[in-house]
Structure 1
Amino acid sequence: MSTVVVTGGTRGLGLGMVRALLERGHRVALCGTNTARIDELRPQLSEAALIMSADVTDRASLQALWDATVDRFGKVDVWINNAGVSHDRTPLWQLPAEQARNVVETNLLGVLHGSAVAMAGMAAAGGGHVWNMEGLGSDGRTVAGLATYGASKRGVTYLTNALAKEVPAGVSVGLLSPGMVVTDLLTHGYADPDELAKARKVFNILADKVETVAPWLAERAVSHTRNGAHVRWLTTPKVIGRFLTAPVRRRDLFAE
């Protein structure tokens, strides 16, 4: 049994991993910033879950999450920096400064703070593993209108690879790459219905639902904890295979 912390664990893929981990008998601490959502979720989760409000852009807030987890469960084995946000699909020069700041602070600074808190705590406790979540842009691919989001995720990949070279004894770090997952982040920011319709055609080929990806990632998050690990759901062979079989698979991930 492991104790796992999941930031941004109150919705989407994060919540999916939380549920999968709990179902497998692990103890989980999760956080979010929406207090109403936290109150709604609390009675839905088992006693093996600790849910609290924490702002990943504030290191002291994440330190409080670490301390509360250790107080409740005695240790932290795995820390997953999952919290992330996107922005409207628009050229950088038209993107409001506040949106750009929110994305960079959450996606990159949040991972930096979470990694620092977890690595320091794990070094003092004798070991543990930190996972950072990749996203569009991590592999260098660029998409018009998502420059800020992509840059933040590219930074996460560099940060993680650099951390793998400086982790303290007993501590390891790696990357989780979920591919395309049907959450609000995937379809966020499409102002043109025609553009969204075109995008959905690709999503129906390459994307998967949370309930498909989350259990797979959760299992590997507690079992593939070597330093520099890179766990990928949507591999290149899988992408090729899905395009080849798309005419006969005919999936509709967005059907009500």
Structure 2
Amino acid sequence: MTSDDRGTASTVPDGDDGPRSSRVRNKKRKHLPLWQETILLLGLALVLAVGIKALLVQAFYIPSESMEPGLIRNDRILVEKVSYWFGGEPQRGDVVVFKDPGGWLTESESAGPANPVAKAMAAIGLYPEGGHLVKRVVGVAGDTITCCDDQGRISVNGEPLDEDAYIKEQGTPCNGPMVSNCNWEAGPVPEGHVFVMGDNRGRSADSTVHLCRPDQTDCVPGDEFVPVDLVVGKVFVLLWPADRFDLVGRPEAFADVPDGS
């Protein structure tokens, strides 16, 4: 036997009989019981759901008819949060979900799900929550919104908006009638705030309703603007009902609006 032969023969360590020993070790490994695996998988799913809700996507529902015709009461929508990371803020035309700034919703509208299971699902982002509103951003910081021109159009920084593609046709003389007339102005919008309106202009308790009118004595100037800090995210999908599934984007109407002051 040569020295090379001896070297080859001694490559298997003492106490290890090769492949047979590996098979024995594999047989000794035990899988977790089914109930433990189930708990582990549920725990991982819960962590993922909470993480997704906190950072990426959250489910909501449309609480009223204010966003018709595009979004109807009880539609289920998905809101993404990534667009507003790292200093990003809502843009004109975005449909956003935001927390009630205070007094915008009735008690019933603010109530979340009553069912305990639904409450638990809402807590982790798998079921819509209450206490939020869905509106379209019409003005951002520095913008002045005026209602209306001789064609009944709202103007932003002097640029009339062609909103026929998304607002509800309702036979009103202008596109901002919730304050009972077509002659009002809002802004400039303060830094860190937005001015919002529903697409169903005759049935939307939005920023226009909170404008101070000349005959009001209990109105607080500035309540018409929504703090950006209260904005949860941007609606990007109409998820349910399935036959109305659609992507929700930013309309072209705002493309030519100049910067505000």
Structure ranking higher on relative contact order (CA contacts 8 Å, 6+ apart)? 2
TM-score (ref. length: structure 2): 0.23
Q: Which has the larger radius of gyration?
A: 2
- Name the one with the larger helix percent: 1
Output the TM-score relative to the length of structure 1: 0.24
